[in-house]
Chains A and B, each alone.
Chain A
Amino acid sequence: QVQLQESGPGLVKPSQTLSLTCTVSGDSVTSGGYYWSWIRQPPGKGLEWIGYIYYSGSTYYNPSLKSRISISVDTSKNQVSLKLTSVTAADTAVYYCARGSMVGNYFFDYWGQGTLVTVSA
């Protein structure tokens, strides 16, 4: 059974860098055909796709956040990481990691439970 678990600080100060880790179990982050994604949800609002890293290492980021995002993998720990720089209160959200599977179509079939990150001084 594939499981994803996000971890990281729950509170980040404005202008600092948000760093989260997603630990994957039951699958390998280098398995072919998967897009390891980050998605966020501000409190009481909808879902926003942040970006993904493909198993090959290629990345694609949401243009609205592109200049501030970095997604990487640590194959030795089977983890996917997200860094978001220069955060503001608008970056306060529950951050989810999810596995994107390509079976004809492409969809998120496994999600972490999410971690709330609050940006505040």
Chain B
Amino acid sequence: DIQMTQSPSSLSASVGDRVTITCRASQTIDNFLNWYQQKAGKAPKLLIHAASSLQSGVPSRFSGSGSGTEFNLTISSLQPEDFVTYYCHQSYSVPDSFGQGTKLEIK
């Protein structure tokens, strides 16, 4: 099974900051990497698929990069509604697996 390691597990930042969250796979997953945003008490929402493709309707301040085993989610200018939790997800091989999550907190 492929293990996904997300870092950091939490991150303190300010509105307007640029932040990057990293996800590492235990083996190569090409670009089969997706990013989701989860607000408290809500279902996850797809932000990025195929490592770098922005899902329709998602603000352009979100971007994804990487391939192989290392991937990044970057938020270029944090907005108040972005201080929630983010998960990466590999769909290269079953069983699918998720990172443990990164919680963004207001500094």
Contacts and interface: CB of A to CB of B under 8 A. Distances in A.
Contacts of B1: 63
Interface string B64-107: 00000000000000000000000101010011111111000000
A62 B83 CA distance: 31
B46 A109 contact: yes
Instruction: Say what secondary structure dominates the interface of chain A.
Output: strand
Contacts of A113: 42-43
Nearest to B91: A106
B55 A49 contact: no
Nearest to B95: A62
Of listed A62, A63, A104, A108, residue having the most chain B CB within 10 A: A108
Nearest to A97: B43
Interface in A61-119: 62-64, 96, 98, 100, 103-109, 111-114
A48 interface: yes
B94 A60 contact: yes
A46 B95 contact: no
Contacts of A46: 87, 98-101
B8 interface: no
B24 interface: no
Interface of A: 37, 46-49, 60, 62-64, 96, 98, 100, 103-109, 111-114
Interface of B: 1, 31-32, 34, 36, 42-46, 49-51, 53, 55, 87, 89, 91, 94-101
